[in-house]
Amino acid sequence: MNPNELKLVVQEKYGEIASQSKLQNETSCCGATGCCSSVDYTVFSESYDALKGYNAEADLGLGCGIPTQFASIKSGDSVLDLGSGAGNDCFVARAIVGEQGKVTGLDFTVAMLEKARTNNSKLGFTNVEFVKGDIEAMPFDDQMFNVIVSNCVLNLVPDKSKAFSEMLRVLKPSGHFCVSDVVIKGELPEKLRKDAEMYAGCVSGAINIDLYLELINEAGFTNTKIHKLKKVELPDEILKNYLTENELLQFRKDEIGIFSITISACK
């Protein structure tokens, strides 16, 4: 598939996910599509329950970290959440920026935007908004935001160089980002990487951690810091759908890994 086709796959999958509950989504990493229905998506996600601003209706259990935890968001900041989904990280960020700050969620899936706006309407926040747009070509002016956060979304973006360049563009001169994402170490077997359903819901869109860091630096960011790196153990019964017994043994032996990462960098 070309990049546009991949984006359509992501929109379709996450449009279906938007119609489901957190429980339904947690029991299948691709939601309604069930592309890997025996995987519990909670192997990626972390609990938001104790965080100020947490809204259960906005939590679909699709994250792979808590980027706001390390984002150094301050009261009065203008924060952008990339791939904001139902609004989970936006509402947590809003609790930090307060009445004087502003939080903007960007998403290109209509059903997710509708869900986020409904959640925001119930909460009555006037300084939180959800905007339709593509991370590779954001509908924002230069230097608008103090902080960018994102949770398990950039791995789904076909052109990550464009994404990081756009992030740099819309950040204020002293701004920074903190994102949670999925990366790999080593080389994922080709059959696993090319599967479109895995791409949309799990990890196939992830890139090698070294390349990930390189793209951040090439975009012009500095002071890159990895706050958290956690290996995700996919069960053998899932990997066997894509790998032969010998390939699976080699996969384990070579310590090829899928990791959730929370990382920040400065403009």
Spans of the chain below 50 pLDDT: 28-41, 196-197, 199-200
Domain range enclosing 90: 3-266
Q: Spell out the residues 6+ positions from residue 173 whose beta carbon is closer than 8 angstroms to its own.
A: 143, 267
3 state SS of 78: strand
**In this predicted structure, what is the pLDDT of residue 233?**
72
CA atoms within 13 A on the CB side of 136: 11
Q: What CATH number corresponds to the domain at position 93?
A: 3.40.50.150
Q: What is d(CA 122, CA 111) in angstroms, rounded to the nearest whole number?
A: 17
Query: Structure tokens of 68?
Result: 């706001």
Query: What strands, in cross-sheet order, belong to the sheet with 145-151?
Result: 128-132, 102-107, 78-82, 145-151, 171-185, 257-266, 222-232
Span between the terminal Cα atoms of the chain, in Å: 33
Please tell me the pTM assigned to this model.
0.86
- Other C-beta atoms lying within 10 Å of the C-beta of residue 70: 19
CA dihedral over 93, 155, 116, 141, signed as positive or negative: positive
State residue 22 phi and psi, 5-degree precision: -60, -40
Residue with tokens 């150094």: 72
What is the domain count for the chain?
Answer: 1
